[in-house]
């Protein structure tokens, strides 16, 4: 009983040619990782991060540094996992009271809006009263 391996040979050749010539062009058009991350972060209620404005002159008197803000202060409040222990806030004037930095927030993308809408749907008290009761606690 002989099997015909022609489809396997043709399929292998197509994969090799795609890998050699066309995979880089296809990869940029099919990359959904940023949209997936935007959707899931809003689905789980993580909210949006702002873009730290490097020049805080005349915006905030004593802001946290951009590194400290991106690592510890920019949005993982109320997440599913516990927050990391925070080191002291790195500021311009260490003796003065720290103030929050001013951040620029881009308009929401379609993936962020869809994630937020899915979050609201899951928390609808008509469909899932236990979410509504848990929010009241």
The percent of residues in the chain predicted with pLDDT above 70, rounded, is 77
- For residues 33 and 9, the model is more confident at 9
Burial class (CB in 10 A: 0-12, 13-18, 19+), 113: middle
Angle (deg, nearest 10), helices 110-122 and 33-43: 30
User: Averaged over 96-117, what is the pLDDT?
Assistant: 88
Give the C-alpha separation, 100 to 59, whole Å.
Answer: 10
pTM across the whole model: 0.50
pLDDT of residue 23: 64
Q: Residue 101 above 50 pLDDT?
A: yes
Tell me what pLDDT residue 75 has: 54
pLDDT tier at 1, thresholds 50, 70, 90: very low
Tens digit of each residue's pLDDT (9 = 90 or more) over 29-64: 666 777 888 888 888 877 777 788 888 888 889 998
Alpha-helical regions (H) of the chain: 6-17, 23-30, 33-43, 66-68, 110-122, 129-136
Q: How confident is the model at residue 92 (pLDDT cuts 50, 70, 90)?
A: confident
* pLDDT tens digits, 12-35: 888 888 777 766 676 666 667 778
């Amino acid at each position: 009983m002989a099997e015909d391996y022609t489809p396997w040979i043709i399929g292998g050749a197509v994969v090799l040619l795609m890998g050699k010539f066309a995979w880089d062009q296809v990869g940029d058009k099919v990359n959904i990782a940023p949209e997936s991350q935007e959707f899931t972060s809003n689905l789980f209620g993580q909210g949006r991060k702002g873009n730290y404005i490097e020049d805080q002159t005349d915006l905030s008197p004593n802001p946290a540094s951009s590194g400290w803000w991106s690592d510890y202060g920019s949005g993982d409040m109320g997440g599913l996992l516990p927050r990391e222990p925070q080191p002291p806030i790195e500021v311009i004037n260490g003796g003065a009271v720290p103030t929050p930095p001013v951040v620029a927030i881009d308009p929401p993308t379609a993936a962020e809006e869809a994630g937020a809408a899915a979050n609201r749907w899951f928390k609808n008290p008509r469909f899932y009263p236990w979410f509504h009761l848990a929010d009241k606690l």
